[in-house]
Structure 1
Amino acid sequence: MEKKRKNITIDNAYSSYQYTAKIDSSDPDQQKIWDKINKKFSALFKSAQNFAMKLARR
């Protein structure tokens, strides 16, 4: 049960981050910047999730 809980926490943190990013960006220039940030953050969260999975397996 512990393993699943860790993943859910990471996923929720990322989805709430994406949600706030969408609200903040109304003009197209800002949208491009947010898209770049989102790509970097999604990669970061994916690697964090993989790391959590590796720790959970041990």
Structure 2
Amino acid sequence: MSVVETMAGRHALVTGGGSGVGRAIALALADAGIDVTICGRREAALAEVAREN
């Protein structure tokens, strides 16, 4: 069983979710059906990531 499968129905907090690795992780988790909260320093970048999903 993968980590993503064990997280189904749960919530994840991703720091640095506005760009780079944090962004990629946040989007992958969201695509897998996990509720994701992202935080970071640049509000505009965070809003863009939130719109992508």
Structure number, greater radius of gyration:
1
TM-score, normalization: structure 2?
A: 0.29
Higher relative contact order (CA 8 A, sep 6+): 1
TM-score, reference length from structure 1: 0.27
